[in-house]
Chains A and B, each alone.
Chain A
């Protein structure tokens, strides 16, 4: 199965030795990305609707949240969450502290994208939905949100891409995701270039696929221009 000429010290040998660490790191990267995207999508959608249609006492804090989140570096959010939660005796692992921070950050982006998408749906759609007697929740659910979601898919995929890249920051608080896993391997075998390259290629594959998906969705739903 393996190349017999493979000696200790060659890249292939070291990579094979480290395969479980690498795969484990990749798994942590994928899992933390997935959790963050799911949480951010749910919370961001609710907040986006609040931004677009909420009463002022709902809209104002949502606006403030979005603007604050967009003005602070993600790394600071991650460090603040990590040290802050521990300080208040909330016992969460670095993994979950990181996911909370990443989700909090991405929620702001999803919310702002959804608000923009909702407000780009022409007013006539809401009126036509009113005219056939749909109540507000149904107007939102059956008429406005389906159109808004299709419009915000490309930026949503882009947010997903940013999250995948953002999970590397979890290495700073000790989460052994793909980047930190690679660095731990380098600390053993000193093959810096090889293993940074390997990690880069893995990120490239994930993110390039995501970017292509974004482009595909954009073309798929281009008919929703009015």
Chain B
């Protein structure tokens, strides 16, 4: 073991870029989750539609995403799309596209379970007061499902936030990328990675706590 002298000034000097990188990761995760929720909801309804030609491709999509490494998808989309002359996406947008598709598959499973667990009486009660199908979904099914699935949505947001670290592989300047750069420039290995680990930890802990509060606020349904 060598004698290692900590020198935290390197963190102080780079604090602003580290913090900015952390916020970028959060932003990427939130945007991807939002798009993923839209994809996931559509996919969940398709799975439950009872039409094979709708359900089968969605099943394939979900299984494909679940079985393919995220890093491979990131590279595939980033380097693959230009092969099809799709060049208007920069690396950040390309990453958001990938992470959204990824989130969509996981969210569709969450929503599918959520929709399936909604007690039948609610829908019947809505029918009884004369709501039309889309009204039943809009005013009864979706609000109930949102509350049921909120804990899973929270967990997915935390996962996605951690997954934003993979964006470093295509040089999106989020936290892991910035950390690697500082590490390469200064060789302050311990300071950099301890700080970055702590930043991820604190951020995931804060997200979890905030969402727990949100869950409690909406915890009207058991």
Contacts and interface: CB of A to CB of B under 8 A. Distances in A.
Is chain B in direct contact with chain A in the complex (CB below 8 A)?
Answer: yes
Contacts of A183: 75
Interface stretch (A4-12, A84-92, A112-120, A124-132): A84-92
Contacts of B164: 73
A134 to B, nearest CB: 38
Given A72-B197, A76-B165, 15 more contacts: A70-B204, A72-B201, A74-B162, A76-B193, A83-B183, A83-B189, A87-B4, A169-B166, A179-B75, A192-B79, A192-B83, A193-B83, A196-B72, A200-B72, A203-B67
Contacts of A167: 69
Contacts of A143: none
Interface in B135-153: none
Interface of B: 1-2, 4, 63-64, 66-72, 75-76, 79-80, 83, 162-166, 168-169, 176, 179-180, 183, 189-190, 193, 196-197, 200-201, 204-205
B162 A73 contact: yes
B92 to A, nearest CB: 17
A169 B72 CA distance: 9
A166 B165 CA distance: 13
A171 B71 contact: yes
Interface stretch (A36-44, A50-58, A146-154, A204-212): A204-212
A83 B189 CA distance: 7
A204 B169 contact: no
Given A76-B165, A192-B79, A200 B68 contact: yes
A75 B201 contact: no
Q: Is the interface of A mostly helix, strand, loop or mixed?
A: helix
Contacts of A164: 69
Contact of A172 (B67, B68, B169): B169
A140 interface: no
B72 A88 contact: no
A84 B69 contact: no
Given A83-B193, A88-B1, A192-B80, A203 B68 contact: yes
Contact of A87 (B79, B80, B190): B190
B72 to A, nearest CB: 6
B72 A168 contact: yes
A183 B79 CA distance: 11
Nearest to B205: A71
Contacts, number: 104
Contacts of A72: 162, 197, 200-201
Interface of A: 68, 70-76, 79-80, 83-84, 87-89, 161, 164-169, 171-172, 179, 183, 192-193, 196, 199-200, 203-204, 207-208, 211
Contacts of A88: 1-2, 4
Contacts of A196: 72, 75-76, 79-80
A192 B2 CA distance: 44
Contact of B1 (A68, A74, A89, A193): A89
A204 B63 CA distance: 9
B153 to A, nearest CB: 17
B186 to A, nearest CB: 12
Contact of B63 (A68, A87, A166, A208): A208
Given A76-B165, A83-B183, A204-B64, A71 B193 contact: no
A75 B175 CA distance: 11
A28 B82 CA distance: 30
B201 A211 contact: no
Contacts of B2: 87-89
6 contacts: A71-B204, A168-B70, A169-B71, A172-B168, A179-B69, A200-B72
Nearest to A80: B193
Contacts of A84: 189-190, 193
B187 to A, nearest CB: 8
A203 B200 contact: no
Interface centre among B4, B66, B67, B83 (most CB of A within 10 A): B67
A207 B72 contact: no
